[in-house]
Structure 1
């Protein structure tokens, strides 16, 4: 049985929307290793439709020489939570209608862990259904004041901090598991 490993870029005030603001914080070798460790052991990718549509053009043309993550993103089976099965032409992709049972079946049948990135609505549902095994937050040292936040107003999500790793550029990798 695989685990669900969620990865998000987040500001101090919880904004995860369109993380172009992360560009002001150059990637470091330890950050690249941290993100690589999230995908290590993952055999499948679970995405919401919007994130899938953003990832497909960004990753589908990348090679391993350009980005060591390209083989994982391009070759892994992708389970796309959507009500529209059309237009899923990036690598091996399958449409899935969301239910806790459907996601649990994917977890149970995966050869390894499932990687989730972005996909805020999906991640909120996974957290509410207690299906997230690891929540990896690369937290940036700025507050944006507005934008889509990972945790919606009124949502109570209890987690347990598993580890925290600060990077020299002020970004922190926080890893949470179920409480």
Structure 2
């Protein structure tokens, strides 16, 4: 049985949308190592449609020379939760249809590694609501944006337990939670 591992870059005020604002902070290699642990052997991507549509053109053109994560993003199977996406062109992509918690549970049971989720706020909120998150990895950047889509809305999330923390010289903090 696999795991659902979520990775988000988030501001102090909870914004995850368009994380181009992270560029002003040096990328610590230890942060890359933490993210790489989520995308190990047998892992697949689980994405919402909007994130998939942003990732596909960005990652499909990258090589490992550009970014060490390129081989994972381009080689892994990409499972897209969407009721509107048809015929995805990025290799190894398939559309799962609209969100269905039972279908996600079955998919998690089929995966040897993890289902890696990045971005995909609507999907993440549904997974948290349904108690399907094994690991929630928040990389909290020391910036308050004041506007933008927030990961956590008015819906309550319960059962999160702090599993790990790591601080980087840039001021970014990795908070790892388990749910359940």
Superposed pair shares fold, TM > 0.5: yes
Over residues 36-87 of structure 1, what are the superposed CA-to-partner deviations in whole Å (9 max), with x where a residue is unaligned? 1222245210000000000001100111222111111001111000012414
Cα distance in 2 for partners of 1:73, 1:166 equals 26
Go from structure 1 to structure 2 and tell me whether the alpha carbon gap of 1:175 and 1:81 turns closer, same or farther (over 3 Å shift). Answer: same
Matched, 1:146 2:168: no
Matched, 1:120 2:121: yes
Aligned residue for 1:99? Answer: 100
Q: Is the 8 A contact 1:2 1:110 kept in 2?
A: yes
Over residues 103-153 of structure 1, what are the superposed CA-to-partner deviations in whole Å (9 max), with x where a residue is unaligned? 001101112211000000000000000000000001001111121111112
TM-score after normalising by structure 2: 0.95
For structure 2, the residue ranges without an aligned partner over 5 or more in a row are none
Q: Is the 8 A contact 1:42 1:115 kept in 2?
A: no
Q: Is the 8 A contact 2:128 2:157 kept in 1?
A: no
TM-score after normalising by structure 1: 0.95
Q: Is the 8 A contact 2:49 2:85 kept in 1?
A: no
Structure 1 range deviating more: 152-161 or 166-175: 152-161
Q: Is the 8 A contact 1:84 1:95 kept in 2?
A: no
Aligned residue for 1:10? Answer: 10
For structure 1, the residue ranges without an aligned partner over 5 or more in a row are none
Structure 1 range deviating more: 123-132 or 147-156: 147-156
Q: Is the 8 A contact 2:136 2:177 kept in 1?
A: yes
Name the count of aligned residue pairs: 179
Greater than 6 Å deviation, 4+ residue runs: none
RMSD over aligned CA atoms reads: 1.2
Cα distance in 2 for partners of 1:78, 1:71 equals 13
